[in-house]
Chains A and B, each alone.
Chain A
Amino acid sequence: MLFWSVILILVTIGLFILPLVPAIAELTRPTDIAPLRVVQAYDNNPMHFAEGFQGYINKHFADAKEVDEHSEGTLPDGTNYHKVGADGHLNMASKTTDKLFFSRYALTLPDDRTFESEIYSQASLVTGIGSHFRALFGGQSLVIGEGSTVWRWAHSDGDIVVGKNAMLNGRVTSRETMTLGVGTHFERLHAAKIMCGTELGPVAVPQIERIVLEELEGVKTKAGRRSLLEGDLNFPAGHSFDGDIVAGSTAIIGDNVYIKGNIKSNALNDLAHYLHSTGVADEHKGSARCEIGDYVQIDGAVISTHDLYIGRHCRILGPVIAENLLVIRSGTIIGTAEHPCTVTAPEIIIESGCMVYGSLWAAEQGVVHDPLTAEKEVAA
């Protein structure tokens, strides 16, 4: 009897201690005690990678003051490189290369090639069409060829021009103007000015006398400049308002409206938005939980917890934030040269003729779309 009692006690103790064995082992011989890594130096700078790469180049190619002839070698970290000569042309025998290319001169790349390492040109850099790149750095300017793909990042201290149907993964940044061809897919763009497609000529803005709205309907509470609405916001066309508006649900802003303040729509998610088609069209206008008409001016931020549709020829000071799909129709300008801002959403469809000063961040994917003509809209 005593034997079995002792066995029972031992088994009980054993079962209790068993899950503690790894814990006690980790306690006595710690293997994972470092604090969670928080990158203290990260400063939200969109050019973080490009500046880091510039530092890398300065470190390894500081002595390459004059390079007239092509040469090759290996950096201390094992990276194979190719210094481009003054002729600025590459004669690549194979379609694919894993070499890092460095050039102090203007550099032009051939078509239909794959570059698995970075390409750096201190002057201008022009890529071929239909090529694939890990990363591109064009000191003075950068042209990304039609149908080309960037995997990680691209940067220029000068202008960037992106050909039609390019695929820009990761970050593409410019200190000057970035022009995107129609059909370009993008993730994270930043420039002093981002021009989507072709710049529109002068637009005849309807000249109307806006009616000032002193009070909104359905205001739940008002604090300072902020009006918190009970339910939907239906802002009538041709009116103006001075203050911030928070809609309890959907927000529909009519054409030719001027709002001196910020707008927030609190529409809840529903299943409908998952069913939308992948092409841009006015169908988005009808299904968006936050819809802004044509020729609307908003001197502030626009925020939607759901889809956001911004009509043609609007001017928004920004930022613009949507938690689902963001559609921006042609002729709309977001931010100003003096006050650049951020446009961000998981999915962005932006039409040719739009302009953004600052950052255009599509967390999942963005696309520059050809604007619909009136005839096409009728057909749709």
Chain B
Amino acid sequence: MALLHTLYDIIIILIVIYTIRHYIFTLNRLYGKQRHPFIDIDTANWPTVTVLVAAHNEERVISHSLDALVRVYYPPEKIKIIVVNDRSKDKTAAIIESYIEKYPGRIQHFHRKEGKPGKAAALKEASALVTSEVIMVFDADYIPGRGLIKQLAAPFFDPEVGLVMGRVVPLNTGKNLLTRLLDMERSGGYQVDQQARMNMGLLPQYGGTVGGVRVAALTDVGGWHDNTLAEDTDLTYRAFLMGWKTVYQNRSECYEEVPETWAVRIRQIMRWAKGHNQSLRRHSATVLVTRNIRFVEKLDALLLLGVYVMAPVVLAGWVIGIILFYCGEMTVFGGYLPLLALITYSAVGNTAAFFEIAAAVYLDGGQKRLRLLPLNFFNFMISTLSVSRGIITYAFAKPEGREKWDKTQRFRSENTILML
């Protein structure tokens, strides 16, 4: 019983820490000084850029992405587009070839027919073809605007910057309740969470798409690791530990497609949880012991690594609380149970994480969609259970099955006319 009490105490402390973290980020976004130091760079001797478009069975969306990329406003002699076609079995290859024919010399087709599956492995092989100073990575469902490449390239004039991350904006928001909830969740994650980290000089996360990597930094940290499900988080931390900064550009926005069914959403978040926790296992100790990192940066880095662990921690807290209560270890008014209920509600209910989402939607100007906020509680519950399930299945999976890449299903049609 003493062990349960100790566990319970630790869980409460963790939840309180994350609650405070949510509040600090949100208040910083609402009232703090905002940092966008590179967004005004419009004229420069731009670095050479290779855009890698990761594609695996993307016949539904790849043409939209390529249409957008050939229109970007960047010196043509300094940009190369390589479509990394990773073992596609559908019409992806034929579509890419049609674009190569239509835009000679501008697009290269890297057709990977065998090898280790997964985005990280594909990027690792494709990077061998890169001769530019910067690599930019886009998933095949992303639709960059004309100025986006310049905006993402600008921070690389700073010699300390190794990674740059732009903002992801869902395009298919109006499909159903799930897409609308994910739209608000994305707002919270980028508009508040990432930008607050940027403001406070902490560790914005490179998200693996709508972002750039300095080739010198990539080489310095040992290149892409293909033994991870979250090559983005893994790279963020390896770069961080080697003294390379990640810059978040909140105004460098790019449309993406979010899952339209709960089944796809659950698979996606389970993969994220597994990948993120691989990084937690690999990097947390190193973050802890590495010297010459400011305390606040170190704390933020550790808390960021732990975000996906908090789902099972919250669940465990509920279970332990109930056990302690029924064992007569605490009363409703005297024990930790009401405190846990309060704090948990604050952390995951509508005054911390939800406060963050509400502030983000407010900053985005989406006044009426804010009415859906209470329904995000259901999304939160499903995410908590899915993340916990992902972590448990990962823990009990055989080593060879742990890195199985679960591709996110696309919903757009090749013939969809995008009203952008």
**Residues of A that sit less than 8 Å from B by CB:** 19-20, 22-23, 25-27, 30-36, 38-46, 188, 190, 220-221, 223-226, 228, 230, 244-246, 261-264, 266, 268, 300-301, 303, 305, 317-319, 321, 323, 335, 339-342, 344, 358-359, 361, 363
Q: Are A190 and B174 in contact (CB under 8 A)?
A: no
Stretch of B51-59, B155-163, B334-342, B393-401 lying at the A interface: B155-163
Contacts of B174 in A (CB 8 A): 30, 33-35
The distance from the CB of A34 to the nearest CB of chain B, in whole angstroms, is: 7
* Most chain A beta carbons < 10 A, residue from B73, B157, B180: B157
* Most chain A beta carbons < 10 A, residue from B44, B201, B219, B369: B44
The distance from the CB of A14 to the nearest CB of chain B, in whole angstroms, is: 14
The distance from the CB of B189 to the nearest CB of chain A, in whole angstroms, is: 13
Contacts of A317 in B (CB 8 A): 45
What is the CA–CA distance of A42 and B251 in the complex, to the nearest angstrom? 12
The distance from the CB of B287 to the nearest CB of chain A, in whole angstroms, is: 16
Please give me the residue from chain B that is nearest to A188 by CB atom: B40
Contacts of A246 in B (CB 8 A): 159-160, 243
Contacts of A35 in B (CB 8 A): 169-174, 183, 255
Q: Are B158 and A321 in contact (CB under 8 A)?
A: yes
Contacts of B367 in A (CB 8 A): 32
The distance from the CB of B379 to the nearest CB of chain A, in whole angstroms, is: 12
Chain B 197-211: CB-based contact to A (< 8 A → 1; otherwise 0): 000010000000000
The 3 A-B residue pairs with the shortest CB-CB distance, nearest first, are A33-B174, A32-B368, A244-B159
With beta carbons under 8 angstroms apart, the residue of B150, B157, B171, B201 that contacts A303 is B157
With beta carbons under 8 angstroms apart, the residue of A40, A45, A263 that contacts B42 is A45
A-B contact count (CB 8 A): 162
Q: Are A301 and B157 in contact (CB under 8 A)?
A: yes
What is the CA–CA distance of A179 and B231 in the complex, to the nearest angstrom? 50
Q: Are A43 and B43 in contact (CB under 8 A)?
A: no
Q: Are A230 and B292 in contact (CB under 8 A)?
A: yes
What would 17 A/B residue contacts be, using CB atoms closer than 8 Å? A23-B371, A27-B177, A27-B180, A33-B180, A35-B169, A35-B170, A36-B366, A45-B42, A228-B243, A246-B159, A246-B160, A301-B157, A319-B41, A321-B158, A323-B35, A323-B37, A361-B42
What is the CA–CA distance of A44 and B150 in the complex, to the nearest angstrom? 8
The distance from the CB of A208 to the nearest CB of chain B, in whole angstroms, is: 27
Contacts of B73 in A (CB 8 A): 43-45
Contacts of A318 in B (CB 8 A): 44
Stretch of B107-115, B141-149, B273-281, B303-311 lying at the A interface: B141-149
With beta carbons under 8 angstroms apart, the residue of A41, A263, A319 that contacts B146 is A41
The dominant DSSP class at the A interface is: loop
Chain B 209-242: CB-based contact to A (< 8 A → 1; otherwise 0): 0000000110110000000000000000000001
* Most chain B beta carbons < 10 A, residue from A19, A38, A261, A303: A38
The distance from the CB of B186 to the nearest CB of chain A, in whole angstroms, is: 9
Q: Is B24 an interface residue (CB 8 A)?
A: no
Q: Are B371 and A25 in contact (CB under 8 A)?
A: yes
Contacts of A23 in B (CB 8 A): 371-375
Q: Are B374 and A19 in contact (CB under 8 A)?
A: yes
Contacts of A319 in B (CB 8 A): 41, 44, 157
Please give me the residue from chain B that is nearest to A46 by CB atom: B42
Q: Are B243 and A221 in contact (CB under 8 A)?
A: yes
Q: Are B371 and A26 in contact (CB under 8 A)?
A: yes
Known contacts A226-B159, A262-B157; decide if A40 and B145 are in contact (CB<8 Å).
yes
The distance from the CB of A241 to the nearest CB of chain B, in whole angstroms, is: 13
Please give me the residue from chain A that is nearest to B253 by CB atom: A38
* Most chain B beta carbons < 10 A, residue from A35, A318, A323: A35
* Most chain A beta carbons < 10 A, residue from B37, B159, B216, B219: B159
